[in-house]
Structure 1
Amino acid sequence: MKWKSQIQNLKAYQPGKTMDDVKEQFNLEKVVKLASNENPFGCSKNVEAFLKTNALSHAIYPDGYAKELRMKVAEHLSVDTRQLLFGNGSDEVIEIIARALLDGDKSTVMATPTFPQYKHNAIVEGAEIREVPLDPAGRHQLSKMLEEIDDTTSIVWLCSPNNPTGEYIRKKELISFLDCVPSHVLVVLDEAYYEYVVAEDYYDSLELLKSYPQLLITRTFSKAYGLAGFRVGFGIGNQDVIGKLEPIREPFNNNTLAQGAAAAAIDDQVFIEQCRDHNRNGLEQYYRFCKNNSLDYIPSQANFILIDFGVSGDDVFQYLMSKGFIVRSGEALGYPHSVRVTVGSHEQNEEVIENMKEFLALK
């Protein structure tokens, strides 16, 4: 078969161990998953009510235009419905963008380490990938990213807050960057963790969109909204840009239950505010632990924290997993001496911190 040369050594996404896997492996009764940045508080009661009261015919295709959800999101964000592109998670939105703009004659610029799907999709499309390392504080080096842009560049990917560091791009820095980006380059601003941000110097991306038509924002219902299992993400952009991307979207890519759940979830912003507050309190638990144990960490604007234990992240990961806590080793994230921990409930945070202390005592 005539496979694309660029996919010959491409590896499929490897999901982490499930809670059932860990229970079986270590003969545990209880396992807490703090590895995938899911919402420990679940989702809004609005979603639960929707699922209980909507008897749906599964023989009928979903609304291919996601009209109800589209109108709800447009109203919530104060944008035109034609400025929205819905995907099966923001992963699919990223895939659509890459498919539309990248090929063997194009280049794309991104930070490293960052969300791996930017690079993955660029490889599939055969584009030249130009990676700019984060600075020591885990931030995008925007001036160096500008230097990598040339006439072949189609897309620049920005992740703010960035995964896996939790760092964010400051408003002044972002505006200076956008002022210098050529008009032929699409700037994708991934805001998967937008709802968790509390930094005062964070930008208003929707306002920036009015001045920078080559900007496209991606967001998701998988994180703060607690709907990771439903896979709903979306892009927000200039109508002309969205109009070019829309024909590439697969028909019926958001199922009926997912559309209804997301529409119900966005109506409950009180839930989102509560989750944001809980997350801030949870981060403070980890900050205190790190300071009390002289561990380096990166202050986070997301719902996770990257902690440097000074040893292989795999060692920390394996120890915590044996105790019933699934975190993410930094070995695969570009921070080999760290682990990335999702902020859980107060009790979950306390429990995993106690086990981290036990690990440190064994060093």
Structure 2
Amino acid sequence: MSNNWIKHANAGVAELMPYQPGKPVEELERELGISDIVKLASNENPLGLSPKAAQAIENACSELTRYPDANGFYLKQKLSEKLGCDDNQLTLGNGSNEVLEILFRTFVGEGGEVIFDAHAFIVYQLLTQSCGATAVKTPSTDWGHDLDAMLAAITDKTKLICIANPNNPTGTFIDGESLKAFIDKVPSHILVVLDEAYDEYLSAEQRSRGVAWLKQYPNLCVSRTFSKAYGLAGLRVGYLVASTEITDLLNRVREPFNCNSLALAGAEAVLSDEEYLAKGIELNNREMARFEAYFGERNIPYIPSVANFITIEVGQAGDFYQKLLKKGVIVRPIAGYGMPSHLRVSIGLESENSRFMQAFDEILAE
């Protein structure tokens, strides 16, 4: 006899749908009986590890019997220098997902509301439900955030407003002037979270001034990650920048030693590897233009993107995904984001993108 444990779970958890990660490439190759699969599904940096990060990680291996620096002292020092903030404004996490979770656990509870776009990063929905709060999804405009709709959705129960800029999975972007005008209108007791996981891929003119705005808006928080442009997805390290008051509260909730020693060493090193960052951005810009030309020539609708992925409309996306999979190309179906007709395609190496294009053309010709 067993208990029906779902009845004993916290409110909101019972209705959650677990995040569905893709299978390991090796397992898919075994299942499908193919080799040399190309993965363009998770918006990872295709260049591989930064040489500076690789060396720092190797050096850190000799100390793996010791606990990591619980405060991330040296990484915070480098980040504060780069961002122009104090180190006591930084919260480190096991990826930016964890710092967002810490923020939700600190400020969102049962009866609260969290506002985000209808096609926003799926983690916002998961975190909201797990806290027993209500998700308030606002409609998109041209697949991007409708800031007026978000303002109209504010009630006396609103705790957080989440804005991913650029947005995942659409790749859309909000200019700084519009974003600042929006924050001006949000009541000062409501937290505005700018999720800038893809900020490094923006042009110098587009790059967010979110961290600089913190002095003007104490209700603003900015999250970023080392998983994308910095190429440390497998080590999971991210951070959140906020006022010292908010940061103090977050670090009361944060688990000790939540960032491992290799992640801290790799992140600290890659911050100094400007050549690696520039090379990745150049590759992304060049291959993004190639994808746009490719889809344009075939009249495949796509959402203009400023991130390291492009989202396309293909009708029966689930079927199209399976056909690509059988040809050894993994992309991401995004029905869970309210986009059942779309596929998200990460920007890979030139050779990987060519494999995708070849497979895509073969399917179109069937």
| TM-score, normalisation: structure 1 | 0.96
Match 2:22 to one of 16, 20, 26:
16
Q: Secondary structure at the residue paired with 1:219?
A: strand
Q: What CA distance in whole angstroms lies between the structure 1 residues aligned with 2:122 and 2:333? A: 15
Q: CA deviation at 1:5?
A: 3.1
Q: What CA distance in whole angstroms lies between the structure 2 residues aligned with 1:40 and 1:22? A: 19
Residue 114 (str. 1) matches residue 137 (str. 2): no
Q: What CA distance in whole angstroms lies between the structure 2 residues aligned with 1:68 and 1:314? A: 45
Residue 101 (str. 1) matches residue 107 (str. 2): yes
State percent identity of aligned pairs.
Answer: 37
Q: Secondary structure at the residue paired with 1:5?
A: coil
Match 1:6 to one of 3, 9, 12:
12
Residue 354 (str. 1) matches residue 358 (str. 2): yes
Unpaired segments of 5 or more residues in structure 1?
A: none
User: Could you give the per-residue CA deviations for residues 273-311 of structure 1, whole angstroms, max 9, x where no partner exists?
Assistant: 1111110111111101111001111111110000112x2
- Residues 301-316 of structure 1 mapped to structure 2, 5 A cutoff: 301-309=306-314, 311-316=315-320
- Residues 176-255 of structure 1 mapped to structure 2, 5 A cutoff: 176-198=181-203, 200-255=205-260
Q: What CA distance in whole angstroms lies between the structure 2 residues aligned with 1:200 and 1:68? A: 29
Q: What is the aligned partner in structure 1 of residue 159 from structure 2?
A: 154
Q: CA deviation at 1:331?
A: 2.4
Q: What CA distance in whole angstroms lies between the structure 2 residues aligned with 1:275 and 1:171? A: 24
Q: Secondary structure at the residue paired with 2:76?
A: helix
The answer (yes or no) to whether the contact 2:201–2:229 under 8 Å persists in 1 is yes
Deviates more, 1:195-204 or 1:317-326: 195-204
**CA spacing shift, 1:294–1:3, aligned 2, 3 Å:** same
Q: What CA distance in whole angstroms lies between the structure 1 residues aligned with 2:310 and 2:48? A: 19
The answer (yes or no) to whether the contact 1:199–1:301 under 8 Å persists in 2 is no
**CA spacing shift, 1:313–1:199, aligned 2, 3 Å:** farther
Match 2:78 to one of 48, 59, 72:
72
Q: What is the aligned partner in structure 2 of residue 341 from structure 1?
A: 345
Q: CA deviation at 1:150?
A: 1.8
Q: How many equivalent residue pairs?
A: 360
The answer (yes or no) to whether the contact 1:227–1:262 under 8 Å persists in 2 is yes
| TM-score, normalisation: structure 2 | 0.95
**CA spacing shift, 1:298–1:59, aligned 2, 3 Å:** same
Residue 92 (str. 1) matches residue 93 (str. 2): no
Q: CA deviation at 1:316?
A: 1.4
Unpaired segments of 5 or more residues in structure 2?
A: none
Q: CA deviation at 1:46?
A: 0.1
The answer (yes or no) to whether the contact 2:116–2:161 under 8 Å persists in 1 is yes
Q: What CA distance in whole angstroms lies between the structure 2 residues aligned with 1:253 and 1:22? A: 31
User: Could you give the per-residue CA deviations for residues 6-60 of structure 1, whole angstroms, max 9, x where no partner exists?
Assistant: 2112222221122112211221121111100010001211011113334423332
The answer (yes or no) to whether the contact 2:221–2:240 under 8 Å persists in 1 is yes
Residue 299 (str. 1) matches residue 299 (str. 2): no
**CA spacing shift, 1:59–1:199, aligned 2, 3 Å:** closer
Runs of 4+ in 1 over 6 A off after TM superposition: none
Q: What CA distance in whole angstroms lies between the structure 1 residues aligned with 2:59 and 2:134? A: 49
Report the aligned-residue RMSD: 1.3
**CA spacing shift, 1:54–1:175, aligned 2, 3 Å:** closer
Q: CA deviation at 1:203?
A: 3.7
**Structure 2 letter corresponding to 1:325:** V
